[in-house]
Chain A
């Protein structure tokens, strides 16, 4: 074998990927290591966090956020609650909307297909700053949204100044409870620095307006992913189902959706990651208000670090957020896994194990 064999040139190979390794190390790995150190140090934001004046304080900042009853934990939990409702609302809505839009613009006989594709995708390419400002005007007390609602005799709320929780309002409307005098069982019981009543608030009216905006802007991107997958679906399969007598809805549920499973997984994963990190809308429109109901972990991290000049705690919030997203993504991958594939893999593994227990027999040397 000559030395020109491409598989035998590790040095050249390493040389070629060095630039990428350096870039990744410098801009990805090093900052992460630095931030991790900051989150367990007492760095005050002056000079290098690695200087000798900065000392190790252990998990103190994590304890403040998770274990010690105080303002830090209260703020963190408030942001967690807000974002939980936010994710719960936005992810399903944007996935369903994106899929619906993709199916619509995938029709072969739709007139002005290109126009609709562009129109639906358009919000995704406009800067979120511009869209946020437009939404601020749409959702003012006398804005277009409320005037539209007024046509139906509904007097809309003053959206971005309204801190009432949607669940509180809904429960009040159906007579479940009186929002001005919450049941003492809920208001009196505190879990992780927030009362049960506060945990059950649901997204505030202000946060709901942000949710509407985000669903609208992100659906276009995800529509594009669904569209690409839909165009991969061979027309014959659909036609075969048609011959079998399946109606539209059956074909969609039993042919299209299973085919889209990997894309659905992708969209939901990206959705969860993106929504837990929501920042720009909050930064531009609400600053976390009214009454902290649009505070999100990402914004809280920024605020803690740069306004309260508490970089260690800001970094700790960021790492907790990372851990949460990581766990949720794994969980969701597990729940949405392809069950047939998993069963097959399990069977293979069992086979291999059995083979190992049976007496050795000559095998050919072809393993990679």
Chain B
């Protein structure tokens, strides 16, 4: 008797599981249909009547949340639709959940670093915002996968050289001494290094050291993003510049001076110079309001000026049922006026060239950052290599003593393995 009951229980559980699994399968089967790769050729899905859009953003703070909410509400009022703005605490995870569950947000922030993987997976609806050519070209490229631009750049940041004004003057340096080459940078860093103060402090990883790679004429991938090119003299030379400065003691990584990032080292006076993006403005005015600093363009390398671009775009979901309305919303949000409003609210730089004049007029101190829009390089734009990039970053955590040749070799072979799959 006991035996029979147990068998029955097992069988019942099994049947239950199967039927549940089957339910799950049917539940969201229909919206998994192949509109991914065909996104560009199909007419956008357009909801009848007023649409209700879900927007998912990764906000830097209350100022950004409020500004986006206000802008979305204004558009909703004009167009008769509704927009519901949600702030994600872990953007990557929440996006992935939405795509897997079949009900992602209609419009969302999408980081350039995560773009290619999502484009390849068919998560994105490909569209172009109005007057697409007005966006900076490197930004458009950052959101292009297999010759197809998928989304409109929201705004961007570039790296600049941030200099502590009083330390600069105390060291007897003037405006003429602003470094224009890597050698000059090493020299002023040495001049500025005294006691507790390191001349130049960088956050670790390729998001800073990569600027020197660009200036040296190299990049991690070839132009079509079809093959790794890290093991080239240019890339190694760029990394070598950083390594030399660190081993001479005039530069250090932020972790070496017990700080979380370059901005903290700079703010606390452990660094006379750092290389950070325009987001440092907010950190400085919040945490270190008394520190005077100036921003210069990064010095030029042997291959010309080089900096890095960081950007996000307004992604529209392939699974959205109101793509047409979502694109209209993006058109509104990326208009030059609205971008200036965002710039005023939370200090981002407009992704449209037509807004750059207004922006530099309003924020002349950001000229160095804006200038980077013309020659900066976006993030590595290859799907499925987040772990390879993470590995590269972890190897560069001790760039001061790392064997650069083997670092770039392992990057190349790891990328090969991903691309060959």
Contact = CB atoms under 8 A, between A and B. Distances in A.
B93 A45 contact: no
Nearest to B386: A308
Contacts of B27: 48
Contacts of B417: 70-71
Nearest to B395: A291
B417 to A, nearest CB: 5
Contacts of A45: 96, 99-100, 121, 123
Contacts of B398: 163, 291
Nearest to A158: B258
Interface in B99-149: 99-100, 102, 114, 117-118, 120-123
B21 A34 contact: yes
B13 A25 contact: yes
B20 A47 contact: no
Interface stretch (A87-95, A120-128, A232-240, A299-307): A299-307
Contacts of A21: 12-13, 16
Nearest to A300: B387
B387 A33 contact: no
Contact of A306 (B93, B118, B122, B255): B93
A142 B259 CA distance: 10
B96 A305 contact: yes
Nearest to A290: B397
B247 interface: no
A22 B15 CA distance: 11
B364 interface: no
A142 B29 contact: no
Nearest to A304: B387
B93 A50 contact: no
A158 B270 CA distance: 15
Interface string A150-165: 0000000010010100
B321 to A, nearest CB: 14
Interface in A300-325: 303-311
Contacts of A292: 391, 394
Contacts of A309: 96, 114, 117-118, 121, 384, 386
A50 B28 CA distance: 9
Contact of A141 (B13, B17, B33, B258): B258
B228 to A, nearest CB: 13
Contact of A48 (B5, B25, B120, B386): B25
Given A46-B32, A47-B102, A51-B32, A71 B25 contact: no
A75 B391 contact: yes
B384 A308 contact: yes
A146 B32 CA distance: 55
A75 B17 contact: no
Interface residues of A, number: 45
Interface string A4-33: 000000100010000001101110011001
B284 interface: no
Contacts of B50: none
Nearest to A54: B32
Contacts of A290: 255, 394, 397
Interface string B70-94: 0000000000000000000010110
A158 B255 contact: yes
Contacts of A10: 5
B24 A307 contact: no
Given A48-B28, A290-B255, A307 B17 contact: no
A46 B99 contact: yes
A53 interface: yes
A50 B21 contact: yes
Contacts of B13: 21, 24-25, 29
Contacts of B390: 303, 307
B386 A47 contact: no
A142 B24 contact: no
A302 B21 CA distance: 23
B100 A25 contact: no
Which 7 pairs across A and B sit closest by C-beta, in order of nearness? A47-B32, A50-B25, A141-B258, A161-B255, A308-B386, A30-B20, A44-B121
19 contacts: A14-B12, A21-B13, A25-B16, A25-B20, A30-B21, A33-B21, A45-B100, A47-B28, A47-B319, A48-B24, A48-B28, A50-B24, A51-B25, A53-B34, A70-B414, A71-B388, A292-B394, A306-B96, A309-B386
Interface of A: 10, 14, 21-22, 24-26, 29-30, 33-34, 44-51, 53, 70-72, 74-75, 140-142, 158, 161, 163, 289-292, 303-311, 368
